[in-house]
Amino acid sequence: MEAAVACSCVHEISQSFAHLREKEADLELSEIYQTSLMSALIDGVYDGSVTIAELLEHGDFGLGTFNDLDGELVAFDSEVHQLREDGSARVAAMDQKTPFAVMTHFRPTISGELMTALDKLEVQDIIDKLVGSPNLFCAFRIDGRFERVETRTVPRQTKPYRPMLQAIERQPVFKFEKTAGTLIGFRCPPYVQGINVAGFHVHYITDDRRGGGHVLDYRLLEGKLEIAKISKLRIDLPQTESFQQATLHSEEMSKAIEAAEG
Ligand code: ZN
């Protein structure tokens, strides 16, 4: 099935990618680990008990947020960064905690250079083609130069917590023009909406490690794309009272996730 949005070059670019030998040992370790559920975050469960140190036991690569919804989490090469609503960024401390994060041991099996300027939807189309099936998960990383990247950062909350759609009503939006940086993302199948985010969920950090956030849109000038196909999902449900009391399934949930994470 051809995707609706495609530049004429998307097919050619996909063809140029190398499919590395998918070693069984690597695939065995390729698993998504997540703490809590996206639906819990949407419902306002902003306190978790999993530390950054514990997250790193489950992967060297990932994204998420911090307790109190205190900014965006982006992790790669075993380094975890915190991008906050005031535009500041720092390396996260090992004892900080997260209410929702998605991690993997990133072992790309598909990689190639993107030498043409591409919009977000074109990059997503290339990833879809390379992964081949909408029913698998994938993690991907793009190190490149960007004409622009638009991000948002969740604002820190205080108790009593409000549901996420209210919490992000005044979320700061950042526009990065002509920056070099790294996109860290996951693509999840449609059937996990609520458990995770169906479709693409991407965070960005600039090369100087001073800016970034949850990605709304971008235009890539050139870069290297690496993809790891993943067919295992491990979910660690919080033991907290707030999680146990949360409303995790409702008619509005899917719409709310699209509004918050789309
Ligand atoms: Zn995000």
Residues 127-169: pLDDT tens digits? 999 999 999 999 999 999 999 999 999 999 999 999 998 998 8
Structural domain tally of the chain? 1
pLDDT band at 1 (very low <50, low <70, confident <90, very high): very low
Q: Which domain holds residue 225?
A: 23-261
Coarse DSSP helix, strand, coil percentages of the chain, rounded to the nearest 5 percent: 25, 40, 40
Distance, CA 109 to ligand 1 centroid (Å)?
24
Q: Is the pLDDT reported for residue 175 higher than 80?
A: yes
Task: Classify residue 89: in a domain, yes or no.
Answer: yes
Cβ(45)–Cβ(240) under 8 Å? yes
Q: Is the pLDDT reported for residue 25 higher than 60?
A: no
Higher pLDDT, 106 or 252: 106
Distance, CA 191 to ligand 1 centroid (Å)?
19
Task: Classify residue 170: in a domain, yes or no.
Answer: yes
pLDDT band at 22 (very low <50, low <70, confident <90, very high): low
In this prediction, residues 211-220 reach a mean pLDDT of 97
| Identity of the amino acid at 188 | C
DSSP string covering 6-49:
--TTHHHHHHT-EE----HHHHHH--EEEES-HHHHHTT-----
Task: Classify residue 252: in a domain, yes or no.
Answer: yes
In this prediction, residues 54-70 reach a mean pLDDT of 97
Higher pLDDT, 1 or 68: 68
Mean of the per-residue pLDDT values of the chain: 91
Whole-model pTM?
Answer: 0.92
Beta bridge mates, 242: none
Distance, CA 23 to ligand 1 centroid (Å)?
30
Task: Classify residue 12: in a domain, yes or no.
Answer: no
| Identity of the amino acid at 97 | K
Higher pLDDT, 7 or 15: 15
Closest C-alpha among 153, 185, 122, 120 to residue 260: 153
Distance, CA 63 to ligand 1 centroid (Å)?
7
What's 229's domain CATH number? 3.30.1330.80
Distance, CA 193 to ligand 1 centroid (Å)?
14
Cβ(151)–Cβ(205) under 8 Å? no
Task: Classify residue 213: in a domain, yes or no.
Answer: yes
Distance, CA 64 to ligand 1 centroid (Å)?
6
User: What are the CA-CA distances from residue 189 to residues 8, 56, 195, 225 (Å)?
Assistant: 25, 24, 11, 20
Task: Classify residue 254: in a domain, yes or no.
Answer: yes
Distance, CA 40 to ligand 1 centroid (Å)?
14
Positive/negative CA dihedral, 16, 150, 143, 202:
negative
Task: Classify residue 9: in a domain, yes or no.
Answer: no
Q: Report the C-alpha gap between 205 and 225 in whole angstroms.
A: 15
Task: Classify residue 10: in a domain, yes or no.
Answer: no
Distance, CA 201 to ligand 1 centroid (Å)?
6
User: What are the CA-CA distances from residue 175 to residues 181, 216, 248, 261 (Å)?
Assistant: 13, 10, 33, 17
Positive/negative CA dihedral, 227, 18, 13, 76:
positive
pLDDT band at 51 (very low <50, low <70, confident <90, very high): very high
pLDDT band at 29 (very low <50, low <70, confident <90, very high): low
Distance, CA 203 to ligand 1 centroid (Å)?
6
